Amino acid sequence: MPIQNRITQLFASGKKDLLSVYFTAGFPVLHSTLQIAKDLQEAGADFIEIGFPYSDPLADGPVIQQSSQIALKNGMNLEILFEEIKDLRKEIHIPILLMGYFNPVLQYGVKRFCESCSLVGVDGIIIPDLPMTEYENLYKETFLKYQLSNIFLVTPQSSEDRIRKIDSLTDGFIYLLSSSSTTGQVGDLKQVTSEYLDRLKSMNLRNPLMVGFGISNHKAFQEVCQHTRGAIVGTAFIRAQNEGKSPHDFVQEIKGLS
């Protein structure tokens, strides 16, 4: 039985040029999560990824690492996050994903984590260090039970067999990393789109594609949207938060509406 949630509904709608914005829960201050999500929704974000901080974020660049360190110092953890977003669906109608590393989820309890996500209205999970085989053998049925999309990441180095396996295990979208480096590293997106994204598009995968890592302006957003359903922006938004830029101005700039 395929998953039916706000993520799958959004992609089934056919809407293009989708923008997902990532931010770190507990940054810049504790108990700001719901307000930031509301601001991003009002600004025009199509869906949101809320990062739960971890002390050893291997795939994150320095900007997101710093936001995680500040969030941890502020006291953020999964218990507090779920309490903060318990009334999420009273005001937020766009899809919400949680993104983070597996260790905090394991400590919290995978079944309990999925149940908590379902109770507050979270639609999907991105856990970069959860092995595909482990997910399939141990946790897939739990994710399905709670109608949670588990989103896998693909890099330019991923083999066709791995990509097709990910496609078979996914309900939602496939998260394409524009490079195999850490987040926030801006590469040559034209090279990425011409070689990598065209190759993936030609595979006729079941799931839609979203690109993340290195999208920081409207030009880059436009480039990847020519080949995929949209882009995921994280580092650039946290940088904008550090500079005091409002979520409205940030989203409008990325979408080219300002």
> Catalytic site residue 60?
yes
The answer for residues whose C-beta is within 8 angstroms of residue 169's C-beta and 6 or more apart is 132, 135, 136, 140, 150, 152
Per annotation, catalytic residue among 39, 46, 60, 123? 60
The answer for residues whose C-beta is within 8 angstroms of residue 77's C-beta and 6 or more apart is 52, 104
Full DSSP string of 78-105: HHHHHHHTTTGGGT--S-EEEE--HHHH
Instruction: For residue 10, give Cα distances in angstroms to 63, 68, 88, 192.
Output: 29, 29, 18, 26
Q: What is the DSSP letter of 243?
A: T
Per annotation, catalytic residue among 49, 84, 123, 171? 49
Question: In the numeric block, which tokens belong to residue 194?
Answer: 């011409």
The Cα–Cα gap between 76 and 200 comes to 37
> Catalytic site residue 198?
no
State the catalytic residues: 49, 60
